[in-house]
Chains A and B, each alone.
Chain A
Amino acid sequence: MNALLIILGLFKSPDVYHSTLTYGTLLLLPALGGVISERSGVVNIAMEGMMLTGAFFAVVADLAWHNVWLAVLVAIIAGGFMALIHAVVSIRYHADQIVSGVAINIVAAGLTVFLLNQFYGVQEIGSVAPQFLIPNIKVPVLDAIPFIGPIFFEQNLVVYIAIILLVAINIILFRTRLGLRLRAVGEHPSAADTAGINVYTLRYGAVIASGLLSGLAGAFLSIGLSNTFVPNMTDGRGYIALAAMIFGKWTPLGAFAACLIFGLGQAIYDNTSIIPISPYFLSMLPYILTLVVLAGLVGRSIPPAADGIPYEPGNE
Chain B
Amino acid sequence: MRHLRFRFLALGVVLMLAVPLVAACGSTTGGGGTTTGKTIKVGLVTDTGGLNDKSFNHLAYTGLLKAEHDLGVRGDVLQSVTQTDYVPNLTHFAAQGYDLVIAVGFDMQVALGQVSQTFPNTHFAIIDGSPTDANFNPVPRANVLSLFFREQEAGALVGTVAGVLEKDQKTPKPTGVISAVGGQKIPPVDRYIAGYQWAAKMADPSIKVLVGYSNDFTDPTKCSGIANSQFGQGSDVVFQVAGGCGNGALQAAGQKGVYSIGVDADQGFVDKSVIVSALKKVDVATFDAIKFIQDGSLPPDYQATGEAPCVASTRSCTEFLFNLKNGGVGYAVDNLNPLPSDVQTAVTNLENAIKAGQQTPPETVS
| CA distance in complex: A114, B9 (Å) | 26
Interface assignment of B270: CB less than 8 Å from any CB of chain A? yes
Bound-state Cα–Cα, A222 to B161, Å: 31
A116 touches B52 (CB 8 A): yes
Give the contacting residue for B229; candidates A45, A228, A273; CB below 8 A: A273
Stretch at the interface among B31-39, B128-136, B207-215, B285-293: B207-215
Check A124 against B23 for contact (C-beta < 8 Å). Answer: no
A15 touches B8 (CB 8 A): no
Quick one: given A233-B218, A271-B229, are A43 and B212 in contact (CB under 8 Å)? no
Whether B218 lies near A98 (C-beta < 8 A) is: no
Interchain CB contact under 8 A, B23 and A266: no
Docked-complex contact B233 and A232, CB < 8 angstroms: no
Residue of A nearest to B228 (CB): A270
Of A98, A125, A226, the residue contacting B5 (CB under 8 A) is A98
CB neighbours of A308 from chain B (8 A): 1, 5
For window 107-131 of chain B, which residues contact chain A by CB distance below 8 Å? Answer: none
B230 sits at the interface (CB 8 A): yes
The 8 Å CB contact of A225, one of B25, B224, B244, is: B224
Q: Which residues of B contact A266 (CB under 8 A)?
A: 225
Q: How far is the CA of A106 from the CA of B5 in the complex (A)?
A: 18
A232 contacts B12, C-beta separation under 8 Å: no
Q: Is B150 in the interface zone, CB < 8 Å from A?
A: no
Contact A230 B9 (CB under 8 A): no
CB <8 Å contact, B52 and A127: no
- Which chain A residues lie closer than 8 Å to B210 at the CB level? 273-274
Stretch at the interface among B198-206, B248-256, B316-324, B329-337: B248-256
B63 close to chain A: CB less than 8 A: no
Nearest-CB residue, chain B, relative to A15: B232
Q: Is A239 an interface residue (CB 8 A)?
A: yes
Question: Bound state CA distance, A227 and B212, in angstroms?
Answer: 21
Give the chain B neighbours of A19 by CB distance below 8 A.
225, 228-229
Q: Which residues of A contact B175 (CB under 8 A)?
A: none
Q: In this assembly, does A316 line the interface, its C-beta being within 8 Å of a C-beta of chain B?
A: no
Give chain A interface residues in 274-288, CB to chain B under 8 Å. 274, 279-280, 283
Indicate if the CB atoms of B271 and A43 lie closer than 8 Å: no
For chain A, residues 246 to 287, give those with C-beta under 8 angstroms from any C-beta of chain B: 266-267, 269-274, 279-280, 283
Contact with B along A90-112 (1 / 0, CB 8 A): 00000010110110011001100
* Cα A225 to Cα B247 with chains together (Å): 12
> Looking across the interface, which residue of chain B has its beta carbon closest to that of A273?
B212
Query: Contacts A122-B58, A227-B251, A270-B229 hold; do A96 and B8 have CB atoms under 8 A apart?
Result: yes
Residues of chain B contacted by A120 (CB below 8 angstroms)? 52
Q: Would you list which residues of chain B between 216 and 241 have a CB under 8 Å from chain A?
A: 216, 218-221, 224-226, 228-230, 232-233
When the two chains form their complex, are residues B254 and A226 in contact, meaning their CB atoms are under 8 A apart? Answer: no
Q: State whether B215 touches A122 (Cβ < 8 A).
A: no
Tell me, rounded to whole Å, the shortest Cβ–Cβ distance linking B363 to chain A. 20
Please name all residues of chain A whose beta carbon is closer than 8 Å to the beta carbon of B219 when the two chains form the complex: 230, 233, 235
A198 within 8 A of partner (CB): no
* The one of A231, A267, A273, A309 that contacts B81, using a Cβ cutoff of 8 Å: A231
- From known contacts A231-B218, A273-B230, A308-B1, infer whether A106 and B19 are also in contact, taking CB-CB under 8 Å: yes
Contact of A228 among B2, B19, B228, B247 (CB under 8 A): B247
Minimum CB distance partner of A282 in chain B = B215
CA distance A99 to B8 in the complex (A): 8
User: A102, B11: Cβ atoms under 8 Å?
Assistant: yes
Which residues of B sit under 8 angstroms from A23, Cβ to Cβ?
225
Q: Is B170 an interface residue (CB 8 A)?
A: no
- Whether A230 contacts B26 by the Cβ 8 Å rule is no
CB closest residue in chain A, given B12: A102
Residue pair A13, B232 in contact (C-beta under 8 Å): yes
Complex-state Cα separation, A266 to B229, whole angstroms: 12
* B14-61 with Cβ < 8 A to chain A: 15-16, 18-19, 22-23, 25-26, 28, 50-54, 58, 61
The minimal Cβ–Cβ distance linking B282 to chain A, given in whole angstroms, is 14
A302 to B328, CA, bound (A): 60
Q: Which residue of B lies closest to A233 (CB)?
A: B219
Per the bound structure, the CA–CA distance linking A96 and B5 in Å amounts to: 10
Query: Which of A99, A105, A106, A113 has the most chain B CB atoms inside 10 A of its CB?
Result: A113
> Shortest CB–CB separation between residue B202 and chain A, in angstroms?
21
Across the interface, do B226 and A273 meet the contact criterion of CB distance under 8 Å? yes
By a CB distance below 8 angstroms, the chain B residues around A233 are 218-221
Q: What are the residues of chain A within 8 A of B23 when measuring CB–CB?
A: 109-110, 113, 231-232
Interface residues of B (CB under 8 A from A): 1-2, 5, 8-9, 11-13, 15-16, 18-19, 22-23, 25-26, 28, 50-54, 58, 61, 77, 79, 81, 179, 185, 210-216, 218-221, 224-226, 228-230, 232-233, 244, 247-248, 251, 254-255, 270-271
Q: What 9 A-B pairs have minimum CB-CB distances, sorted nearest first?
A: A273-B212, A98-B8, A270-B225, A110-B22, A273-B210, A109-B19, A270-B229, A226-B220, A279-B213
* Apart from A226-B221, A273-B229, 13 more pairs, CB < 8 Å: A106-B19, A110-B25, A117-B26, A122-B58, A127-B251, A130-B255, A225-B224, A227-B251, A230-B52, A230-B220, A235-B219, A270-B229, A309-B1
Question: What are some 19 contacts across the A-B interface (CB < 8 A)?
Answer: A13-B232, A99-B8, A101-B12, A102-B8, A110-B23, A113-B50, A122-B77, A225-B221, A228-B220, A230-B220, A231-B52, A231-B218, A232-B23, A233-B220, A239-B16, A267-B225, A272-B212, A279-B213, A280-B215
